[in-house]
Amino acid sequence: MTDILELGSFIREGGFASYMVVIVAIVAAGIAVERWIRIQFQYSINSRAFMAKLKKYILSDNIDRAISLCNSKNQALLPRVLKAGLTRAKDSTPDIQNAIDEATLEVMPKLEARALYLPTFANLATLIGLFGTILGLILAFKSSGEAVDAVSRQQFLQKSIAIAMHTTALGIFCAIPMLLVHAVLQSKINSIIADIDQYSVKLINLLSASQKVGGLKTSSEGGAEEDAAAGD
């Protein structure tokens, strides 16, 4: 409780600029929490384990089960992209690629939404802190000239310097965690994008290989039927 009161006093001594920094920090904190929940718990998935199950269904030519697996993880982004390719499993490789590319373009904005605001808010908090510093120095020079005695002059200087120092410190204090959180979120975003790129290519290769194997089986069966007809 004492720490909260000291923090409140620290903010009050910074004046108007400090309140602006606090507002920016609250908005940034809300964005950071929302992005972390969505990216970590909604958009992410154990991609290696998921792809292993998907590969098993594809190799057994059970595309419907593979699509059902993607539907069971429809909140995650990787299954959404791979599902788009699976729905075109019997089509040509370029068609599968186009479907995956289209799905990727659809999910990317959801993944990157609002995360780029964090470094902007960090810069804004720092600039507001510097604005408070300049404002405090202006008040210091103005007040010292208007003071009628040394005691009043000292009080004005202390108050003005407090505004200058408190707003600068508060702006930097808020900007540091914003940049740190953005770096962590960006790393997670890049990891999901890398998984989408990697496993999309693997899916295309699996589906192409399955189509070729199916074609070979059909040709072999056709040749066997022709041999049997010739024998008759």
* pLDDT of amino acid 148: 53
CA distance 60 to 227: 28
- pTM (two decimals): 0.77
* pLDDT of amino acid 89: 85
Q: Which two three-digit tokens encode residue 74?
A: 């429809």
* pLDDT of amino acid 158: 74
CA count, 13 A, side-chain hemisphere, 115: 22
- DSSP E strand stretches across the chain: none
**Block means of pLDDT (10 residues each) for the chain, length 232 residues?**
60 76 92 92 90 89 89 90 90 90 90 88 92 82 62 72 82 92 93 93 88 51 40 43
* pLDDT of amino acid 140: 74
With 0-12 / 13-18 / 19 or more C-beta atoms within 10 angstroms meaning exposed / middle / buried, residue 230 is exposed
* pLDDT of amino acid 111: 86
* pLDDT of amino acid 147: 54
